Structure 1
Amino acid sequence: MKALFIKYKSVIKFILTFLLVYGVLSVAYKFYLQFSDGSKFYPDYFTHLVAVQCETLLNSLGYQTEILPHPTEPSMKLLLRGKYLGRVIEGCNSISVIVLFVSFVIAFSGTLKTTFFYILSGSVLIYVANLIRIVLLCIGLYHYPEYGEVLHSVVFPAIIYGMVFLLWIFWVNRFSKLNKKDV
């Protein structure tokens, strides 16, 4: 048994580090959501910010867009040219995807400076890609409502998670301190 632990030390370290970081960040995010004051930024700051930024982007593309607080649930209603298309919920703000990304990068850490800047730039990239994803989803739902389910459930999640996967691969191959002989 000891020989297995020694042989797979780097794998075990990765798994434990990933789970620890993911757990800590997830609990911190859960506390943020639980204690978020929805009076100023409804339903929470990040979800509200994503809705406002999507509204701005859609308006700049020539789509008359309006966001409104949903009256019965913690979300922002999104109306495109007066047509209710959907809602921006907490899961749309990309924070949980960023938590997953950060946990993986830390589990395969590189130097402190490189890790910090990769996490920062990767998180910004994920956030911006998520905004573009929502904007394109709204335009797609407006013009092609019959494809709404496949766009929302398959195409756009594949894009965002595919991008995160590629960022992970790039990180491991380029920057992590992974010792090639340990694999």
Structure 2
Amino acid sequence: MKKYFILYKPFLLFLGTFFLTYIVLTFLYQQYLNGFEENQIDSVTRMVSENTEQVLLLFTDGSSIEESTTQPYMKLFFNEKYVARIVEGCNSISVIILFISFVVAFSGRLQTTLLFIFGGSLLIYALNVLRIAALSALIFYFPKQESLLHEVLFPLYIYGVVFILWLIWVRKFSRYASKDSK
């Protein structure tokens, strides 16, 4: 049994580090969310909603957000039509936690790791805001395609970006990156 632990040590270290990081960050995020009342919108979701509204206002004056009075979400209007609601799950924090966990599990030098986590998290956040804005406009023009857009194309888009960031991290910056690829 010991020889298997030695043989698979890098893989087991990766798994352990990944899951430990993921569990700790998820726990911390849940504690953050628990600081809000049951029907209160958390600050990150509110910020994502406001940023999405700002992006949409670049294209049409008929875009706005409005806080729901009964549930914890923001109503999103495009061309003055209610097209979507932005809930806590739309704020990309769970995707960022997944991204960070992977990068930490394949960590490289501390400074490089922290810079990549910061830059990648900002990129994921910004692309998520653009994703919500585009999704809202597309739902306005193609309401019958809402399911395909929301459940297939746009998750593929955001997780595809994360996957590409992971590939860049592993190939260029992690401790496993090829030193002669420069």
> Which TM-score bucket, shorter chain as reference?
over 0.9
Unaligned runs of at least 5 residues, structure 2: none
Q: Matches of 1:79 and 1:124 in 2, distance apart?
A: 25
Count of aligned pairs between the two proteins: 178
> Higher mean Cα deviation, 100-109 or 77-86?
77-86
1:8 to 2:8 alignment: yes
The match for 1:175 is 173
What one-letter code is carried by the residue in structure 2 that aligns with 1:128? Answer: A
Secondary structure at the counterpart of residue 82 of structure 2: strand
Unaligned runs of at least 5 residues, structure 1: none
Choose the corresponding residue for 1:74, options 58, 63, 72. 72
Cα drift, residue 63 of structure 1: 4.5
Q: Matches of 2:63 and 2:21 in 1, distance apart?
A: 38
**Structure 1 residues 150 and 63, CA gap change in structure 2 (3 angstroms):** farther
**Cα deviations by residue, 1:23-71 (Å, 9 ceiling, x for unpaired):** 00000000100103689xx501000000011111101112411111112
| TM-score calculated relative to the size of structure 2 | 0.93
The match for 1:108 is 106
Secondary structure at the counterpart of residue 86 of structure 1: strand
> Higher mean Cα deviation, 114-123 or 59-68?
59-68
1:38 touches 1:44 (CA, 8 Å); kept in 2? no
The match for 2:123 is 125
| TM-score calculated relative to the size of structure 1 | 0.93
Q: Matches of 2:129 and 2:75 in 1, distance apart?
A: 16
The match for 2:56 is 58
What one-letter code is carried by the residue in structure 2 that aligns with 1:25? Answer: L
2:45 touches 2:90 (CA, 8 Å); kept in 1? yes
Secondary structure at the counterpart of residue 66 of structure 2: strand
Q: Percent identity?
A: 44
Please report the RMSD computed on the Cα atoms of aligned residues, expressed in angstroms: 1.6
Cα drift, residue 178 of structure 1: 2.4
